Amino acid sequence: MSKEAKLLEIVADILECELEEVSLETELCEEMWDSLAVVSFMAEADSEFGKTLSPTEVVAVKSVKDLLDLIQ
């Protein structure tokens, strides 16, 4: 599975939505990208991609594409 596909799967799980509802263009607004989502993503990024991210980096993202850039 590609990094992009795995990322989309992780984001869909964190946001509790269907995989088909998430794309790289999906914008992450504050209502959906709350502190729990940020912490969950940080844990997944570490376990799935071996990336240790800071909360500041993850909170600053605006879209799923930005998350992909963080884990590259």
pLDDT digit string, tens, across residues 20-45: 999 999 999 988 899 999 999 999 99
Determine the pLDDT at residue 43. 97
Fold of the domain built from segment(s) 3-71? 1.10.1200
Dihedral (CA of 72, 28, 32, 5) sign: negative
Mark out the alpha helices in 1-72 (DSSP H runs): 3-15, 35-49, 55-59, 64-71
- Residue 45's closest CA among 55, 31, 30, 35? 55
Using pLDDT thresholds of 50, 70 and 90, give the confidence band for residue 1. Answer: confident
In angstroms, rounded to a whole number, what is the distance separating the alpha carbons of residues 14 and 41? 7
Say which residue the tokens 């269907």 belong to.
Answer: 18
Q: What are phi and psi of 27, to 5 degrees?
A: -85, 140
Q: pTM of the full predicted structure?
A: 0.93
